[in-house]
Structure 1
């Protein structure tokens, strides 16, 4: 069963590149803030690179103006996430977080079996809004779709 509105985000480690590989706990990252977390099935994949991440890059300042942090998560390693962020001109502050072993994704109950595509376990495409570590809104895409997890949709729900 996947995480529900009103539940706390799981406290698990993620990785990012910050003066080398840095392991950070989700409780420390998201526990005392407002944050939008969006997950993609894979860095450098078509919809993720052409629509999902670019939408959050384009609207990043609108989230920040509301006092909301933004984090992108994928079941990739931190070096891939860093390279993808650089290739997409991700603004400083938009967190590119690696969930290489899908620990966070599984703890949320939002994993996707992409083995038939040679990709193993991945994250479903989703976005969520949390305050002080508690999920306030959650939008999970149906397989093959891209609508409700977009930056634009999230912004419309936060207004």
Structure 2
């Protein structure tokens, strides 16, 4: 993700609002605006500079058609991160979400992470298929995990072990 991506993100989020709302935590109206995305992108870039979050963007011409994130990075003996993603409603079912998720795994391995995790709402079977195709395994259910659409929602939890080497951060 780059600083100049905010306008394209704003258009993409507005185009996909109905597609994303069933799965995402509630967002303020400001999020869906051009100004909201300027702040969102700036915040993401600061988090990347600090090594906390990395955002990867899928483009189709000049349109953002997907985003994957590596968040909640924990170092020390855990060496873990969380994967999240979305794909434009006109580009689902084409393997893009799987490719984005696999790309995050490659990047995470380069950062020295040992383990990735992801969660989907129980009824989000399509996202569960994406994670399985990307090499994640299901390991449980977290009851009342995230507050989405006015209530705490159960999530199916997945993980992918990237390697079994001792902890370390390449380039540190």
TM-score higher than 0.5: no
Higher relative contact order (CA 8 A, sep 6+): 1
Q: Scaled by the length of structure 2, what TM-score is found?
A: 0.29
**The structure with more radius of gyration:** 2
